[in-house]
């Protein structure tokens, strides 16, 4: 079980969080033309990285904030966690 530092609450066990996927994906702006390919990339295509991965987690059983986590997908080492609006 991972130990994740919520930037709002401190160190908490993984079972208080839910995983939210790649944190680098940016939703296309509303009301803007977008090609099929770009939309597909946004909705479906994700890299399955080995190594450092920037990802989203939500502290659902705590403060309910979405946070950004940089984690090594092979070793589970967590390098950094920041608040939703901060860059990672």
Residue ranges binding Zn ion (CB under 5 A)? 6, 8-9, 59, 62-63
SS3 36: helix
Compute the least distance from the CB of residue 48 to another protein, in Å.
19
- Residues of this chain that interact with another protein (CB under 8 A) are 1-3, 13, 18, 20, 27-28, 30-31, 34, 36, 39, 42-44, 56, 58, 60, 64-66, 75-76, 78, 84-85
Compute the least distance from the CB of residue 13 to another protein, in Å.
7
Q: Which is nearer to another protein, 49 or 74 (CB)?
A: 74
Beta bridge partners of 72: 52
Task: Kindly list the distances between the CA atom of residue 15 and the CA atoms of 29, 41, 67, in Å, as whole numbers in the listed order.
Answer: 33, 30, 15
Q: Which of 30, 4, 31 is nearest to 17 (CA)?
A: 4
């Amino acid at each position: 079980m991972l130990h994740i530092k919520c930037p709002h609450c401190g160190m908490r066990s993984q079972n208080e969080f839910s995983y939210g996927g790649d944190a680098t994906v940016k939703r296309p702006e509303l009301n803007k033309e977008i090609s099929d390919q770009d939309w597909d990339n946004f909705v479906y295509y994700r890299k399955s990285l080995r190594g450092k991965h920037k990802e989203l987690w939500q502290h659902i059983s705590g403060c309910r904030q979405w946070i950004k986590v940089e984690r090594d997908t092979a070793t589970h080492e967590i390098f950094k966690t920041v608040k939703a609006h901060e860059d990672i």
